[in-house]
């Protein structure tokens, strides 16, 4: 029989994503502005045709 800590809690509801934090993290991962522009602007434009 397995024992589990009382502090262990199963969360079934997803947490909200902080999009601002993700945007800031992307700037740290990809420091070149032209590359970020290709990822965030050019790629979706080509994919969705706008």
d(CA 37, CA 44): 10
The pTM for the full model equals 0.56
- Residue 6: the pLDDT is 62
Q: What is the pLDDT of residue 2?
A: 57
pLDDT digits (tens, 9 = 90+) for 1-40: 556 556 666 667 778 888 999 989 999 999 999 999 999 9
Residue tagged 């029989």 (tokens): 1
For residue 8, the model assigns a pLDDT of 67
| pLDDT given for residue 5 in this prediction | 59
Direct distance between the N- and C-terminal alpha carbons of the chain, in angstroms, rounded to an integer:
57
Residue 17 has a pLDDT of 84
């Amino acid at each position: 029989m397995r024992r589990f800590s009382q502090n262990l809690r199963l969360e079934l509801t997803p947490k909200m994503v902080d999009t601002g934090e993700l945007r800031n993290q992307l700037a740290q991962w990809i420091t070149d502005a032209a590359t970020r522009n290709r990822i965030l602007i050019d790629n979706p434009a080509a994919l969705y045709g706008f």
